[in-house]
Amino acid sequence: MPLSARQRTFFARPPLASPRLAVRGLGIRDLLPPCTIDRPRGTGDHLILCAHDPLEIDPAGTLLPAGSVVRWPPGTRQFYRNRAGLRHSWIHCGGTLVEELLRRSGLPAAVPTAPGSAALCDRALDALRGELAGAQPDEDIAAAILTAWVLALARNHGREPTAPEPYAAARARIEAGVAQRLHLDGLAAQVGVSVQHFGRTFRALFGETPIGYQLRLRMELAAWQLRDVERGVGEVAEAVGYADVYQFSRAFRRHYGCSPRRWRERLLAGEPPA
């Protein structure tokens, strides 16, 4: 079930459509030109959206900060506006499982919440997309992915961003370009400091160097993608930014203590992967 170049899928016939869980569509870093979306009566399902760029979420201009989440329940007006183009990840879903999860999560409706959730949303939705793309999607597996994601969002609910905005934006840019070459000079210039100062401050704020942060994101994304047995190791390597599969394998082994192939073998055997 390949996604379009705009990274969105609406299912004409949902692969999962039960009273417990129904997924009508999802997008991962879906690109929109400048536009206003206004659905006065909402939709018949829940829309959960993560903005990778700042986004106005009501006509008054209330801002959803980059990396935050907003959700609209069924029948609730869905309004969002971007004036300079938008990358966003989203899912339309419903069912008794979704209702119970959102009730437990405490995530408010139609207001910004769960700051710093961009990478989390992309990993979860990519894993869910992979499950739905299979010949026989498993509802329990899809439910487990969705459950873990919503509970993780709940953990971020109400958390105040502690990093100054320029550094939070720099981290978001690293997340957005996880498979791209990291240009520290460009990130430092956007913050307005030297490369050395940027690196020291980034580590003090987030506990990792910029390079270490990108590497961890790459390895976590690779580990998720290796769960799809239809993907070769070389394909996964390329997807997370490695042109050389041997370089990728060495990096993966340093991070997880085993090769990508061994990681997959352990998963298939039902063993702890690391």
Q: pLDDT of 139-156, one tens digit each?
A: 999 999 999 999 999 988
* pLDDT at residue 147, as a whole number: 94
184 and 150, same structural domain?
no
Q: What is the pLDDT of residue 183?
A: 93
Q: Residue 159 has what pLDDT?
A: 61
Q: Looking at the structure, do residues 202 and 124 belong to the same domain, yes or no? A: no
Both 179 and 151 in a single domain? Answer: no
The answer to whether position 196 is within a domain reads: yes
Residue 3 lies in a domain: no
- Give the mean pLDDT of 24-51: 93
Tell me, what CATH number does 213's domain have? 1.10.10.60
Q: Is residue 193 part of a domain?
A: yes
pLDDT (mean) for 61-88: 90
Is residue 122 domain-shared with residue 245, that is, in the same domain? Answer: no
Give the pLDDT score at 92.
95
Per-residue pLDDT for 2 more than 60? Answer: no
Q: Are residues 234 and 132 in the same domain?
A: no
The pLDDT of residue 1 is above 60? no
Instruction: Looking at the structure, tell me whether residues 37 and 150 fall in a common domain.
Output: yes
Q: Same structural domain for residues 91 and 208?
A: no
> Is the predicted pLDDT of residue 12 greater than 80, yes or no?
no
Q: Are residue 62 and residue 138 in the same domain, yes or no? A: yes
DSSP structure string for the chain: ----TT-EEE-SS-S-BSSS-EEEEEEEEEEE-SEEEEETT--SSEEEEEESS-EE-STT--EE-TT-EEEE-TTS-EEEEESS-EEEEEEEEESHHHHHHHHHH-PPSSS-B-TT-HHHHHHHHHHHHHHHTSSS--HHHHHHHHHHHHHHHHHHTTPPP-S-HHHHHHHHHHHHTTTSPP-HHHHHHHHTS-HHHHHHHHHHHHSS-HHHHHHHHHHHHHHHHTT-TTS-HHHHHHHTT-S-HHHHHHHHHHHHSS-HHHHHHHHHTTS---
Does 98 or 133 have the greater pLDDT score? Answer: 98
Pair 89, 223 in one domain: no
Q: What is the mean pLDDT of the chain?
A: 88
Average pLDDT over residues 83-107: 91
pLDDT of 160 strictly over 70: no
Angle (CA) 90 95 100, round 5°: 90
73 and 139 share a domain? yes
- Whether residue 64 has pLDDT greater than 70: yes
pLDDT for the residue 162: 56
240 shares its domain with 171 = yes
Instruction: State mean pLDDT over 74-81.
Output: 94
Contact assessment for residue 266 and residue 272, using Cβ atoms and an 8 Å cutoff: yes
Q: Compute the average pLDDT of residues 166-179.
A: 89
Query: Which CATH number goes with the domain that contains 87?
Result: 2.60.120.280
Domain-located, residue 195: yes
Q: Is residue 14 part of a domain?
A: yes
32 located within any domain: yes
In a domain, 150, yes or no: yes
Last residue of a domain, one of 156, 186, 214: 156
| Structural domain count, the chain | 2
Whether 190 is in a domain gets the answer yes
Tens digits of per-residue pLDDT, 198-220? 998 888 777 789 999 999 999 99
Name the domain boundary from 156, 187, 219: 156
Contacts for 153 with CB less than 8 Å, ≥ 6 apart? 69, 105, 107, 113, 114, 117, 120, 121
Domain's final residue, options 125, 156, 187:
156
Task: Answer whether residue 30 shows pLDDT above 60.
Answer: yes
Q: What is the pLDDT at residue 83?
A: 85
Please tell me whether residues 209 and 150 are part of one structural domain: no
State the residue range of the domain holding 70. Answer: 8-156
Looking at the predicted structure, is the pLDDT value of residue 72 above 90? yes
